[in-house]
Chains A and B, each alone.
Chain A
């Protein structure tokens, strides 16, 4: 066992750049700040992507005496996190240009800290590392949400997210303390060895508390109260980051913790998790039906998607890892594209979030309207797009493991959600427009169009993502033995 610091070079690079930006923020004149900091952070994230790509290997690598384990699975999640970070930087440049906030430097380096936290979260294989990186990502998100001056909604959303998120984190620590008490160690590998000899009842207590902590973070139903408020209240680029990077990393950490330690008594907890999954997917889909605000609607749809991902945990471990990686891949691009589109449309303040103001978009900007159709149809799971393949593999995994009832409920929830995904599309193609002009900035335009293109291209070539997910799965299984 040695330190192996080189494995963490992307995280170290991002942290270094962020600290450097704190200093640079003091001497830069205000009018250059937005351009300078967005260029620095996008270059830093780009270099981090290259570094991560160069370090992906099917053989699991350990750093810091096994506190961090990076397999191809973690590498894939890191790439997704970094891509959504890059798109967030692009989108926020234009957003800040319009809003004229007074804390520009703070916004960009806090954003980099969110990415560092999310990457460490996906890589951690020790309880305290997991907790600290989760909190780095979440506390930075609270700051980002409430940073915009005079924006009351963001602060209210931040407070609600803060209270529920902290309760979730506190329950997570309590579960970790119980787990430590039962096994006497905090490393996943050693916990898994010790856990096999224990009786399931005390382990179930730890599993329940830890699962509750993660369900708070990912927004499954009994713990979903913050999701709509936080998604609606947060500035749209921050919603983008919350919905993609933080959520993807939280799911990855959940898998890395749950599968080695708690899978040998799956029969004891699968009923409870199945009920949570079904309730999440249905209540998310049903509550989204009547929303006028597109961000709020997407928040409820995110709850529904969370339910679908959690349902996958009831199949066998190998199928779970494969289909969750596939789904997260698709989900990241869909979330980035959807919130990028909303940022463009809300150029005139809050109005673009209301579904009425989408009327007649087709006559104003055909390319954006067509990409909106692709985004919403992909979220609903219509065949040639990537969202369909994500749902397809989850259904396949569920049917293969004999969970036909769950598979049917995934199908029904998707059918319900088709209604509210079609609503914006209908509004876009309505004739009578309300005539609000908007000029999209270059960054947000590129981010939306590129991620929409990814939705379409990967939808036509699903075997590319399938290959990547299989690589992630094989390296994940290798790290268990």
Chain B
């Protein structure tokens, strides 16, 4: 395993995640993109942890996973609350606040 292959994999995941966030209009798909970006960082952390031979990176991954779970929980709760009022999860419908 070389640093280059690590960067290739995580960069690919990052690019897919960013594309999903930019291109998708469905809030749930946006969440997929977010998780992909966080996991691309996780791949990098675990790989580098192996290359450096210390555990800072692997420990970091646990915190990132925990935070991602909390984030998903709160985000989905907000989406459910909005869906009850607007009957939609399309970001183009959320435009009460403008200019």
Chain A residues with a Cβ under 8 A of chain B: 127-128, 131-132, 135, 139, 142-143, 146, 152-153, 155-160, 162-163, 166-167, 169-171, 173-174, 176-178, 180-181, 184-186, 228-229, 232-233
Which residue of B17, B41, B77 contacts A176 across the interface (Cβ within 8 Å)?
A: B41
Complex contacts, B52 vs chain A, CB 8 Å: 181, 184
Contacts A170-B17, A177-B44, A181-B47 known; list 4 others, CB within 8 Å. Answer: A139-B67, A152-B86, A160-B94, A184-B54
Q: Please list the 4 inter-chain residue pairs (A to B) with the smallest Cβ-Cβ separation, ordered nearest first.
A: A181-B48, A170-B37, A177-B44, A184-B52
Interface residues of B (CB under 8 A from A): 3, 6, 10, 14, 17, 21, 27, 30, 34, 37-38, 40-42, 44-45, 47-48, 51-52, 54, 56-57, 59-60, 63-64, 67, 70-71, 74-75, 77-79, 81-82, 85-86, 94, 96-97
CA distance A468 to B48 in the complex (A): 42
Asked if residues A159 and B48 are in contact (CB atoms below 8 Å), the reply is no
Query: A185 touching B96 by the CB < 8 A rule?
Result: no
Complex alpha-carbon distance, A167 and B38, angstroms = 9
| B63 touching A142, Cβ below 8 Å | no
Inter-subunit contact B97/A127 (CB<8 Å):
no
Residues A170 and B34 in contact, CB atoms below 8 Å apart: yes
Structural contact, A174 and B40, CB atoms closer than 8 A: yes
Nearest residue (CB) in A for B86 is A152
* Contact between A153 and B96, CB atoms less than 8 A apart: yes
Q: A139-B71, A233-B97 are in contact. Are A167 and B27 (CB under 8 A)?
A: no
Would B97 and A232 count as touching, CB distance under 8 A? Answer: yes
The reply to whether A159 and B64 contact each other, CB–CB distance below 8 Å, is: no
B70 with A177: CB separation less than 8 A: no
Query: By the criterion CB–CB under 8 Å, are B60 and A166 in contact?
Result: no
Contact A155 B82 (CB under 8 A): yes
CB atoms of A178 and B30 under 8 A apart: no
Name which of B54, B74, B77 has the most chain A CB atoms within 10 A of its CB: B74
The A interface is mostly helix, strand or loop, or mixed, namely: helix
Asked if A167 and B37 make an inter-chain contact with CB atoms under 8 angstroms apart, the answer reads yes
Could you tell me the distance between the alpha carbons of A181 and B75 in the complex, rounded to whole angstroms?
A: 30
- How close is A314's CB to chain B, nearest CB, in angstroms? 29
Q: Which residue of A lies closest to B39 (CB)?
A: A170
Once the chains bind, are B78 and A142 in contact (CB under 8 Å)? Answer: yes
Tally A-B pairs: CB < 8 A. 116
Chain B residues closer than 8 Å to A132, beta-carbon distance: 63, 67
Cβ contacts under 8 Å, A160 to chain B:
94, 97
Contact B44 A178 (CB under 8 A): yes
Nearest neighbor of B66 in chain A, beta-carbon distance:
A132
Partner of A127, one of B51, B60, B96: B60
| Bound form: Cα–Cα A127–B48 in Å | 15
A152 cross-chain contacts in B, Cβ below 8 A: 82, 85-86, 96
Min CB–CB distance B41 → chain A (angstroms):
4
- Closest B residue to A184 by CB, please name it: B52
**Are B14 and A159 within 8 A (Cβ)?**
no
Do B37 and A174 touch across chains, with their CB atoms under 8 A apart? Answer: yes
Beyond A167-B37, A174-B37, A184-B52, whether A135 also contacts B78 by CB under 8 A is: no
Q: Which residue of A lies closest to B81 (CB)?
A: A155
Q: Does the CB pair B96–A156 fall under 8 Å?
A: yes
Please name the residue on chain B nearest to A230 by beta carbon.
Answer: B97
By beta carbon, the residue of chain B nearest A147 is B81
Tell me if A135 and B67 are in contact (CB < 8 A). Answer: yes
**B70 proximity list for chain A (CB < 8 A):** 135, 139
Distance in Å from the Cβ of A149 to the closest Cβ of chain B?
9
Partner of B41, one of A170, A185, A229: A170
Q: What residue in chain B is nearest A187 (Cβ atoms)?
A: B56
Contact A162–B60 (Cβ < 8 Å):
no
Cβ-defined partner of B57 (8 Å) among A139, A180, A232: A180
- Minimum CB–CB distance from A359 to chain B (whole Å) comes to 22
B64 touching A131 by the CB < 8 A rule? yes
A135 CA / B64 CA spacing, docked (Å): 10
Q: Are B81 and A146 in contact (CB under 8 A)?
A: yes
Known A162-B78, A177-B45: A186·B56 in contact at CB below 8 Å: yes
Asked if A186 and B97 sit within 8 Å, CB to CB, the answer is no
A186 touches B60 (CB 8 A): yes
Q: Does B56 lie within 8 Å of A185, measured CB to CB?
A: yes
Chain B residues within 8 Å of A181, by CB: 3, 6, 44, 47-48, 51-52
Are B74's CB and A180's CB within 8 A?
Answer: no
Please measure, in the bound complex, the distance between the C-alpha atom of A171 and the C-alpha atom of B10, giving whole angstroms. Answer: 12
Least distance between A389 CB and chain B CB atoms (Å) = 33
Partner of A128, one of B42, B48, B63, B94: B63
**Contact (A177, B96) CB under 8 Å given A139-B74, A162-B78:** no
Q: List 18 A-B contacts (CB under 8 A).
A: A128-B63, A135-B71, A139-B74, A159-B79, A159-B94, A166-B71, A167-B21, A169-B67, A170-B38, A173-B64, A176-B60, A177-B48, A180-B45, A180-B60, A181-B47, A186-B56, A186-B57, A229-B97
Distance between Cα atoms of A170 and B17 in the complex (Å): 10
